[in-house]
Structure 1
């Protein structure tokens, strides 16, 4: 391969990668928050389902209560005067939901549930949930969880909370629901995301149709003055006609007097 062919090949690859990145940015993206770097392994099938439906996702791994990893960035939270971000490019927890369509937390524990229900911050989960709810973005949480952190289960060698703590956890869950947090079985979280994404796409298509350049005239081949008279008002975008529609001379004069622009559908 000579130099010219090599440069052409490299340029083509760069342009293709830029195109792929642009297409990727247009796709809806959700954020998964896992307790540690191994907690996501049982969700691979859900990730495949999201990918097959054109939905992207990022994964944030918790590295303790007040720190986490999003890609190569270490995110930390803390009070006044404390460390906020571990590097200059990492967002603070409150900024994280701004880049996503919604947030998914397969596991919720007693501590964070209490913080969220009380409107408190101080942990990665609590701050991200608070930010997402304030921004009006959906927060999906796994409902079939014991309320006990993975680390606590490993340390205490137990899988469930005592009954009084279970009742307390359920009260916090109900309070979280009142705040707008949605709970689904862990295996159905991806299905819930897909349903919401499909609903958003239908809504966007409907809004786009409603906000098109103007009012679409009926499918009649001839647009008459009587039809123009019958319209009480026209949208700012004017009148959109289907290809092949004929406008009568009198209707043209009336539209011109009203200042209504006429366009044809592509």
Structure 2
């Protein structure tokens, strides 16, 4: 590896570690709203999240198959056809990758049915599908009429018929089995905070992974990302052995010299 490749590799590693540390320090959730006015009633939610060190983004739906996330317009063209409105906009299935969880204050019958049956084709359905598949939490409002805002305005009605309401509740139960959580709209932010606190406590309770794992007298595994001469000197037991290093890890030139003096050879996993 020449000096340019080494500098590029080290720089990439540092940037990735900085991004990972930033994400770890400031978890981010995504609120999905029906339109550009639906978020106004949730200002207190955003203040509550900020006070607990949680960032949020807002996605505004512009119909069923298009939405706005910041300055990017995200579109989906139905099952089997996913497109983006500009080269920087993510596809709907990619949106959840940057968030620890998704919050949907208002879920309607149409999208509840799609999600419960594993169907895609709308922004909400695809975001929830990708979030659940990748292990992200999804929290939805429980005290909702099941009929979307645009339909309420068009039909001038606030509730579903008893038959449709029964169908909607059936889909809600199916969504709970898939992992979607439901809580009152006014407690959505509180639920997010408690959810992230519980996850943090679980992570802190996990034992720290050792940087060195001994396999036998002839081999050992280094699980870190940067192997330095100082680390080699801190492991006096490593002599005349093979050190297994994960692919992508950086080994400094001084570390190579220190290992050569002790008869240590490096093998990449």
Q: TM-score higher than 0.5 here?
A: yes
Higher strand share: 2
For the residues of structure 2 that align with 1:182 and 1:148, how far apart are their CA atoms?
A: 19
For the residues of structure 2 that align with 1:81 and 1:120, how far apart are their CA atoms?
A: 11
Secondary structure of the corresponding residue to residue 65 of structure 1: coil
2:208 corresponds to 1:210: yes
**Residue in 2 that maps onto 1:42:** 41
If the length of structure 2 is used for normalisation, what is the TM-score? 0.69
Computed over aligned residues only, the root mean square deviation of the Cα atoms, in angstroms, reads: 2.7
2:160 corresponds to 1:157: no
**Residue in 1 that maps onto 2:3:** none
> Which of the pair has more CA radius of gyration?
1
**Residue in 2 that maps onto 1:123:** 122
**Residue in 1 that maps onto 2:193:** 194
Secondary structure of the corresponding residue to residue 88 of structure 1: coil
Label 1:101 to 1:205 Cα distance change in 2 as closer, same or farther (>3 A). Answer: same
Segments of 5+ residues of structure 2 without an aligned counterpart are 1-17, 213-220, 223-235, 238-269
**Residue in 1 that maps onto 2:97:** 98
Q: 1:201 Cα shift?
A: 1.7
Deviations 1:89-125 (A, max 9, x none): 0000000001000000000001001101110000000
Label 1:23 to 1:189 Cα distance change in 2 as closer, same or farther (>3 A). Answer: same
Segments of 5+ residues of structure 1 without an aligned counterpart are 1-18, 215-235, 238-254, 257-266
For the residues of structure 1 that align with 2:25 and 2:208, how far apart are their CA atoms?
A: 22
Secondary structure of the corresponding residue to residue 210 of structure 1: coil
User: Superposition pairs for residues 1-266 of structure 1, below 5 Å?
Assistant: 26-79=25-78, 84-207=83-206, 209-211=207-209
Label 1:82 to 1:136 Cα distance change in 2 as closer, same or farther (>3 A). Answer: closer
Q: 1:203 Cα shift?
A: 2.0
If the length of structure 1 is used for normalisation, what is the TM-score? 0.70
For the residues of structure 2 that align with 1:23 and 1:72, how far apart are their CA atoms?
A: 22
Q: 1:202 Cα shift?
A: 1.6
Secondary structure of the corresponding residue to residue 57 of structure 1: strand
Q: 1:212 Cα shift?
A: 5.8
Aligned residues: 201
